[in-house]
Amino acid sequence: MEKDINIIGFLCNWCSYAGADLTGLNRIIYPTNIKIVRIPCTGRMDPVLIMEAFHNGADGVLVSGCHPGDCHYTEGNYYWRRRHAVLKRLLEFLGIDERRFQATWVSASEGKRFAEVVKKVVDDVRSWKKNE
Amino acid sequence: MSKTGVFICHCGSNIAGVVAVEKVVESAKTLPGVKVAMDYKYMCSDPGQNLIINTIKEQALDRVVVGSCSPRMHENTFRMTIERAGLNPYRLEIANLREHVSWVHSEKASATDKAIKLVELAVAKVRRNEPLQKIYAEIEKRALVIGGGIAGIQAALDIAANGYKVTLVEREPSIGGRMSQLDKTFPTMDCSACILTPKMVAVAQNKDITLLTYAEVEQVHGYVGNFEVNINKKARFVSMTKCIGCGVCTEKCPSKKRLSEFNANIATRKAIYTPFPQAVPNIPVIDKDSCMYFATGKCKVCEKVCPAGAVDYTQEDEIITEKFGAIVVATGYDLYDHSSYGEYGYGEIPDVITGLQLERMINSGGPTGGHIKRPSDGKEPETVVFIQCVGSRDDAKGKPYCSRVCCMYTAKQALLLREHYPNSKAIVFYMDIRAAGKGYEEFIQRVQTEYGVLYLRGRVSRIYEKKDHLLVKGVDTLSGNQVEIKADMVVLATGLKPKKEAQNLAQLLHIGYDQNGFYTELHPKLAPVETQIAGVYLAGCCQSPKDIPDTVAQSSATAAKVGALLSKERLEIEPMISEVNPLLCSGCRMCYNACPYGAIEMEDTEIRRGEIRCVAKVLVSVCKGCGVCVAGCYCKAIDLKGWTDRQLMEQIKVISYC
Amino acid sequence: MYKVAYFPGCSLDSTAKEYGISTRLICKDLGIELLEIHAWICCGATTAHITSELMAAALPAMSLLQAEKRNLPICSPCSACFSRLKLADIDLKKNVQLRMDVAEVIGGEYKGTTEVLHLWQVIQKYGNLKPKKELKGLKVASYYGCLLTRPPEVCPDERIEDPQFLDNLVTSLGGEPVLRWNYKTQCCGAAFSLTKTDIVHRLSGEILKDARERDADCIIVACPLCHSNLDARQAEIKLNFSIPILYFTQLIGLALGYGYAELGLRKHFVQARGLLSLKGLL
């Protein structure tokens, strides 16, 4: 059987990780393809870490943090937003399909939204893999 | 080789019902560095924790992985557990097998596979966990309370009663807040002023409380135990020390009359004024915008009539900087502005008033001397229609929440109307009656039966302005009939919303607020007065709408938390913060510029013997551990303890090789 | 001259002939050229939108497409036509599937580039309105009805419960608008015009009575149905007064100096001649 897709999710501790916890609390089912790594803040996301994930064979990467303006550390997610914009173009240049690298904002109260985000990312990465 | 112990919790059937726990244990045993793996029904219970402690001791473990619920739930619990077994508490990792696996996946085989992977992830990370030492800081044993309504007053009094110094900052010329505007309080109908004014006086007389009225917080720096706050003492143009509070200046002031904020705009005030006669402090201020002297350079009547020579037009705003260990936010609420309700006349029909305006009318100290009068012609109203939920529970207006007090204050006002004018008729349109409080339901019943207030369940579709009355059209959903009421006056129970400037203050303090703008507590159930910023606490309606009893209870709770903080000799700070390796640092200042907290200093350091360079240094008590600096460092000279590059790399490898 | 595709609709040549006449008359003066859409068809009002979504969109789309092809904004004086055109325009922009289906039915795709305007909007935006005669002392209640104000997305005013645009027009003509009149968007009962006239009598009666109570001399409308209910039924409603109902275009016409007959005012059931001569407007 073909190996199922494998997605690594970097979630900030204060919003998205808590949001993902809320998804659990509300028992909203989503695909198992995502494995979550807790980070303190999306501002901690060194682009090298994402390159490393693709380098090691991850099918997709999701980074999710607090909504702009809501960062626990005031402005960490703004740093991430700028890094993300640059990294996205770099990955495009390297030939990594844009569906494989996604960034979003999920707050601690958006449990339902987190499940939707995961479903979408899994669908996107699947559709990429199919055409591969 | 590290000696890691893996402990998988069943959480009753919460985890074990979906995840094959024994398979997770078996697989964990094969992981590099794992010495022992086992499972237990409730790992967080006393026997569960003892199991961990005993195993650590028996097997001489140096690291622990617990597969259980979210680390946001029990990370601290298990840190304390392994500390009790003699391990450094930071040599622990949690695999989130409940919120991220068993509760969100239903298919057992794939859920088990994911659980196995998450445990592997945690084992990979824990292998690189360094022992971290707690950091300690001094505490400034003084508290700042922002907002001088009943919430702030109660908090200040309680903190002072615990023996700590308090500074109470209020932006208006007097403390007292919303409660001082009210007439009676439900459900006991005690007079609001009678129970509030003694507390206001107590604040003024308490030697441990410094009262700063007509002042605002401008800037906040620092961290728990060591906040540095800039407070702007706005120019009052009246000397606090000379004024004797005689009120002659107000009496003689010739300025055009402004609408009185305190009287909810149904009366006017002068340019030099105290908001109300019982003001604390009883010292007037000059409102620069409506003062003739400031507009034209002529007048100076107040200066001439003041017997104490207290008027001083040269006063300027003064910014003072003070240090505090804790901050209590008690900024209260604003009332919803009903001018967005077209069906109620866009706030332009004179005889459609708000609950607070009626409150000022009923109040014997108010502008109508306690008589309810129609604003249009001053007549006594016979039929008064009350409409509840104006700006509450209304998605169309962006206010989905319940304001909690409107049902009760409407009932109170209907009662007062009936008491005042026995021939009057009171009709209330409501959606639901929410009277969940001690004695509240009984009160509502009393208003309906004893006072004959007519309650109609339904909404008003439109208020028509007729020549000498209002025509209120609505629906009574219980009888299913449309109703038309000829009313003399309509009172809108406008809801509560956060203060207009609440978000600015949140930014200053770095505290969060929800989609409605109310400040977010740390945990809705278990930490209702704390915020996510240590040392900043909440009280009253700035957190969510609440009535006076709940506000007072929350304020006392906050004061207890402040007391607990200030009573500590020194403060523990999370050690998961950034650290610079000076050997690698190039001194490029990337981290210095990026840090949102100003926690990085550039300092000449002796790196090797004889080699002095300017490199970055982390101020341990200021760093919050966000990691922005780490991601920005070109030479990988700075790293975040507990979330190091190596740890994240290990985790990435584990997942990516799935 | 400002060019606009003109959709008169069925009423403007029949029951509301005077609305059509006065519209053409004043537009010439205001520098607006009305280019009548070739072979326009029914807008679908009153029946299409409760029968079929496709029909409700396809009927107006025929006219919208014509205007789009000529790269003109489209305008109608009739509130019902305006409402249908505007709602079809909104639906077609939003719903791709519907757009495709409609394209198949009418044989051409409407891309949604046409601006849909009510005649009032055209006059306000592009008309060169210079009154020759001020309507001094004329107290006018503006009745907007439902089709210009509901649903909110068609309403040209932000204050959907208390629109102001006709009142502002009255002010600019030198007249005196009845302000804060709460009945201006009230239902006149038009849907029951033929089936349950007693309801029409009650609802329209309330509107007329309140206008009189507020000392209005006349009421202006922008909808043929409103007009027929308020004007033609006044006798049936059995009021102890009568109040002339004018189209807003006729009011503009008066300010531009046109005569009573020219503006088709003779066609109304309640004659305004007495009032207008009293105010010196004839």
End-to-end CA distance of chain A: 17
Rg (CA), chain B: 31
Domain-embedded: residue B415: yes
* Predicted local confidence at residue A1, as pLDDT: 44
Q: Which residue of B has its CA nearest to C210?
A: B466
Average pLDDT rounded to a whole number, residues C1-27: 94
Percentage of chain B with pLDDT > 90?
A: 89
Task: Choose from B120, B514, B648 for mutation: most chain A CBs within 10 A.
Answer: B648
Same domain, B59 and B77: yes
Q: What are the chain C neighbours of B462 within 8 Å (beta carbons)?
A: 161, 182
Q: What are the chain B neighbours of C162 within 8 Å (beta carbons)?
A: 342, 345-346
Dihedral (Cα; B371, B374, B375, B378), 10-degree rounding:
-70
Summarised one tens digit per residue, pLDDT across range B418-471 is: 999 999 999 999 999 999 999 999 999 999 999 999 999 999 999 999 989 999
Residue A131 — very low, low, confident or very high, per pLDDT cuts 50/70/90? Answer: confident
Same domain, B582 and B628: yes
- Distance separating alpha carbons of residues B260 and B11, to the nearest angstrom: 60
Sorted by sequence, the CB contacts under 8 Å of residue B426 that are 6+ apart come out as B384, B386, B414, B417, B418, B451, B452, B453, B454
The residue type found at B154 is: Q
Peptide bond into C151 cis (omega under 30): yes
- Distance separating alpha carbons of residues B571 and B621, to the nearest angstrom: 10
CB contact under 8 A, C182 and B465: yes
Q: Please report, for residues C80, C142, C163, the alpha-carbon distance to residue C145 in angstroms, rounded to integers and kept in the order given.
A: 10, 9, 10
| Final residue before a domain boundary, out of B497, B520, B553 | B497
Percentage of chain B with pLDDT > 70?
A: 100
Summarised one tens digit per residue, pLDDT across range B578-614 is: 999 999 999 999 999 998 888 899 999 998 888 999 9
How far does the CA of residue B482 sit from the closest CA of chain C (Å)?
14
Query: Residue B532: which of A30, A72, A80 has the nearest Cβ?
Result: A72
Summarised one tens digit per residue, pLDDT across range B373-392 is: 999 999 999 999 999 999 99
**Which strands make up the sheet holding B489-494, listed edge to edge?**
B352-354, B489-494, B383-390, B425-430, B454-457
| Final residue before a domain boundary, out of B497, B514, B538 | B497
Summarised one tens digit per residue, pLDDT across range B464-504 is: 999 899 999 999 999 999 999 999 999 999 999 999 999 89
> Residue B374: how many CB atoms within 10 A of its CB?
19
How far does the CA of residue A30 sit from the closest CA of chain B (Å)?
6
What is the full DSSP assignment across B377-425? T-PPPSEEEEEEEESSSBGGGTB-S--SSHHHHHHHHHHHHHHH-TT-E
Q: Please report, for residues C40, C63, C82, C111, C192, the alpha-carbon distance to residue C52 in angstroms, rounded to integers and kept in the order given.
A: 20, 18, 19, 21, 21
CB contact under 8 A, C161 and B346: yes
In angstroms, how far is CA B414 from the centroid of its own chain?
A: 32
Predicted TM-score (pTM) of the model is 0.78
The CATH-assigned architecture of domain A7-131 is 3-Layer(aba) Sandwich (3.40)
Same domain, B636 and B515: no
How far does the CA of residue B350 sit from the closest CA of chain A (Å)?
40
* Predicted local confidence at residue C30, as pLDDT: 94
Contact B491, B388 (CB under 8 A): no
Query: Residue C213: which of B346, B463, B466 has the nearest Cβ?
Result: B466
End-to-end CA distance of chain B: 24
Same domain, B178 and B324: yes
CB contact under 8 A, B70 and A8: no
Same domain, B348 and B462: yes
Number of domains in chain B: 5
Q: B113 at the A interface (CB within 8 A)?
A: yes
Same domain, B387 and B243: no
Q: Which residues of B touch C (CB under 8 A)?
A: 342-343, 345-346, 348-349, 462-467
How far does the CA of residue B575 sit from the closest CA of chain A (Å)?
13
Average the pLDDT over each of B234-238, B539-543, C150-154 and give the range with the smallest value.
C150-154
Q: A131 at the B interface (CB within 8 A)?
A: no
Indicate if the pLDDT at residue B631 is higher than 80. Answer: yes
Query: Residue B462: which of C160, C182, C213 has the nearest Cβ?
Result: C182
Angle at B270 between CA B267 and CA B273, to 5 degrees: 105
CB contact under 8 A, B96 and A36: yes
Q: Which residues of C touch B (CB under 8 A)?
A: 159-162, 180, 182-183, 210, 213-214
- Distance separating alpha carbons of residues C253 and C247, to the nearest angstrom: 10
Coil vs helix vs strand at C3:
strand
Domains parsed from chain C with CATH numbers = 2-125 (1.20.1050.140), 130-278 (3.40.50.11810)
| Tokens matching residue B196 | 């509030």
Q: A128 at the B interface (CB within 8 A)?
A: no
* Predicted local confidence at residue B658, as pLDDT: 59
Summarised one tens digit per residue, pLDDT across range B203-251 is: 999 999 999 999 999 998 878 898 999 999 999 999 999 999 999 999 9
Query: Residue B72: which of A6, A21, A44 has the nearest Cβ?
Result: A21
CB contact under 8 A, A56 and B653: yes
- Distance separating alpha carbons of residues B235 and B313, to the nearest angstrom: 9
Q: B197 at the A interface (CB within 8 A)?
A: no
Query: Residue A53: which of B73, B631, B656 has the nearest Cβ?
Result: B656
End-to-end CA distance of chain C: 28
CATH of the domain at B630: 3.30.70.3270
- Whole domain around residue B85: which residue ranges? 4-126
Same domain, B72 and B15: yes
Average the pLDDT over each of A64-73, B171-180, C247-256 and give the range with the smallest value.
A64-73
Q: Please, which chains are in contact with A (at least 3 CB pairs closer than 8 A)?
A: B
Summarised one tens digit per residue, pLDDT across range B31-46 is: 999 999 999 999 999 9
- Distance separating alpha carbons of residues B250 and B243, to the nearest angstrom: 13
Angle at B427 between CA B424 and CA B428, to 5 degrees: 140
- Distance separating alpha carbons of residues C208 and C190, to the nearest angstrom: 15
Rg (CA), chain C: 19
Residue bearing tokens 């909110």: C152
How far does the CA of residue A91 sit from the closest CA of chain B (Å)?
17
Same domain, B473 and B594: no
Mark residue B216 as left, alpha or beta (left: phi above 0; alpha: psi -120 to 50; beta: remaining).
Answer: beta
Domain-embedded: residue B254: yes
Residue A2 — very low, low, confident or very high, per pLDDT cuts 50/70/90? Answer: low
Q: A70 at the B interface (CB within 8 A)?
A: yes
Domain-embedded: residue B452: yes
Q: Which residue of C has its CA nearest to B339?
A: C159
Mean pLDDT of chain B: 94
Specify which residues B318 forms β-bridges with.
Answer: B233
Q: Residue B309 class from Cβ within 10 Å (0-12 exposed, 13-18 middle, 19+ buried)?
A: exposed
Same domain, B170 and B122: no
CATH of the domain at B488: 3.50.50.60
Q: B524 at the A interface (CB within 8 A)?
A: no
Mean pLDDT of chain C: 93
Query: Residue A20: which of B99, B514, B596 has the nearest Cβ?
Result: B99
Average pLDDT rounded to a whole number, residues C256-265: 94
Q: Which residue of A has its CA nearest to B653?
A: A56
Q: Residue B185 class from Cβ within 10 Å (0-12 exposed, 13-18 middle, 19+ buried)?
A: buried
Average the pLDDT over each of B507-521, C84-98, C169-183 and give the range with the smallest value.
B507-521
Average pLDDT rounded to a whole number, residues B172-200: 96
Q: Please report, for residues A96, B119, B349, B350, C141, the alpha-carbon distance to residue B465 in angstroms, rounded to integers and kept in the order given.
A: 66, 70, 7, 10, 14
- Distance separating alpha carbons of residues B621 and B136, to the nearest angstrom: 8
Task: Choose from B68, B108, B651, B652 for mutation: most chain A CBs within 10 A.
Answer: B652
- Distance separating alpha carbons of residues B224 and A76, to the nearest angstrom: 20
ipTM of this predicted structure: 0.95
The residue type found at B475 is: V
Angle at B381 between CA B375 and CA B385, to 5 degrees: 95
Q: Which residue of B has its CA nearest to C182?
A: B464
Same domain, B201 and B239: no
CB contact under 8 A, C182 and B342: no
- Tell whether the torsion through CA atoms of B520, B521, B525 and B526 is positive or negative: positive
Q: Please report, for residues B216, B224, B321, the alpha-carbon distance to residue B505 in angstroms, rounded to integers and kept in the order given.
A: 10, 17, 17
Angle at C38 between CA C34 and CA C41, to 5 degrees: 105
SS3 content of chain A, % helix, strand, coil (to 5): 50, 15, 35
* Predicted local confidence at residue B574, as pLDDT: 83
Length of chain C: 282
Same domain, B348 and B464: yes
CATH of the domain at B301: 3.30.70
| Final residue before a domain boundary, out of B252, B284, B315 | B315
Same domain, B30 and B116: yes
Q: What are the chain B neighbours of A38 within 8 Å (beta carbons)?
A: 71
Coil vs helix vs strand at B557:
helix
Report which secondary-structure segment, H or E, holds B258: strand B258-259
